């Protein structure tokens, strides 16, 4: 039998379309080349392949963009949780084994469409001046930055650019081929430009190598990385933060929820997940459901 495809809309809200994420329920692990080919054919920003571990209440999850495998992907983790809940509606917490280790995704206590997961932050470090100055090759001038650029992220190394204002953020226009080449030359996976509108609200735009340098509509790991900049940039972020990703004039972006505490506990990232009607894919042999 052909694999069952579930399409989920991750990081969605009434004002944001979110990111379409494909989830394929397979019987067991297949070849990486096969998974990559399917992800490329589907064309979603992220596609996850999940299957149950025999004798354990744990599912394996492998994640792919159209062009590369993803060690850590919040979109597929949230999509996988929503798919498991569809099959086990009495459960509200699901464990997944990923290429980046184990993660537990939990349903919000008051809203069943919202899911949370906890992830450790990687420390932020100042970006070398030569890297920052080379942004001019992409049409990004140092003068438009409000504060120093930093390297941070969760699962993937990204550069973060604190922009002076929303106008500067929306005026950014990066060519995908140049972004992809520039990131790979500097061993980075994304350019993340952001503006802190308030202690509890951030606007973010992300261009990523996982989409060959194209702009992403919603990037959970990139949003999480902003929390690592709270102290060095003195952002004084609140305990609950909403990150709105994408151009201001576009409805195709995402809304990402963050929670952090004053103690040493790792932060949480949250997402509203909408399940789109499921189907089956012809001519894609990725196992059976």
Question: Is the pLDDT higher at 153 or at 210?
Answer: 210
Are 263 and 278 spatial neighbours (Cβ–Cβ below 8 Å)?
Answer: no
Positive or negative, the CA dihedral 59, 65, 68, 71 is negative
Pairing of strands 215-216, 201-208: antiparallel
Q: Was domain 125-264 assigned CATH 3.30.70.270?
A: no
Closest listed residue to residue 92, CA positions, set 73, 56, 117 = 117
pLDDT value for 278: 58
The DSSP annotation for 8-50 comes to: EEES-BTTB--EEEEEEE-SS---HHHHHHHHHHH--SEEEEE
Q: Is the pLDDT of residue 228 over 50?
A: yes
User: Candidates 3.10.310.10, 3.90.1010.10, 1.10.110.30, 3.40.50.300; correct CATH number of 4-118+273-280?
Assistant: 3.10.310.10
CA distance 45 to 190: 14
User: What are the E-state strand segments in 232-286?
Assistant: 240-245, 254-259, 268-272, 274-280
**CATH 3.10.310.10 domain position(s) in the chain:** 4-118+273-280, 125-264
pLDDT tens-place string over residues 37-92:
999 999 999 999 999 988 888 999 999 999 999 999 999 999 999 999 998 999 99
State the maximum Cα–Cα separation within the chain, in Å, rounded to a whole number.
Answer: 57
**Banded model confidence at residue 215, pLDDT cuts 50, 70, 90:** very high
Q: Is the pLDDT of residue 216 over 80?
A: yes
């Amino acid at each position: 039998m052909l694999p069952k495809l579930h399409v989920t809309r991750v990081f969605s809200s009434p004002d944001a379309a979110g990111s379409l994420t494909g989830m394929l329920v397979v019987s067991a692990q297949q070849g990486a080349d096969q998974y990559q080919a399917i992800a490329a054919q589907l064309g979603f920003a992220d596609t996850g392949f999940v299957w149950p571990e025999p004798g354990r209440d744990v599912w394996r999850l492998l994640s792919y963009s159209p062009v590369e495998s993803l060690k850590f992907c919040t979109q597929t983790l949230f999509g996988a949780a929503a798919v498991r809940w569809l099959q086990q509606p009495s459960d509200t917490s699901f464990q997944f084994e990923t290429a980046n280790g184990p993660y537990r995704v939990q349903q919000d206590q008051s809203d069943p469409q919202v899911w949370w997961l906890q992830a450790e932050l990687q420390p932020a470090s100042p970006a070398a001046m030569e890297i920052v100055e080379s942004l001019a090759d992409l049409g990004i001038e140092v003068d438009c930055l409000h504060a120093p650029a930093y390297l941070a992220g969760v699962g993937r190394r990204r550069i973060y650019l604190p922009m002076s204002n929303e106008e500067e953020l929306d005026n950014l226009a990066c060519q995908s081929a140049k972004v992809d080449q520039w990131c790979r030359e500097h061993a980075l996976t994304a350019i993340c430009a952001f503006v802190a509108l308030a202690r509890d609200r951030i606007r973010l735009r992300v261009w990523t190598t996982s989409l060959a340098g194209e702009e992403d509509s919603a990037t959970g790991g990139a949003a999480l990385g902003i929390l690592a900049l709270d102290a060095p940039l003195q952002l004084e972020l609140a305990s609950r933060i909403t990150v709105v990703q994408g151009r201001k004039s576009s409805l195709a972006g995402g809304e990402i929820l963050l929670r952090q505490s004053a103690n040493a506990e790792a932060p949480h990232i949250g997402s509203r997940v909408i399940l789109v009607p499921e189907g089956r894919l012809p001519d894609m042999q990725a196992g059976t459901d």
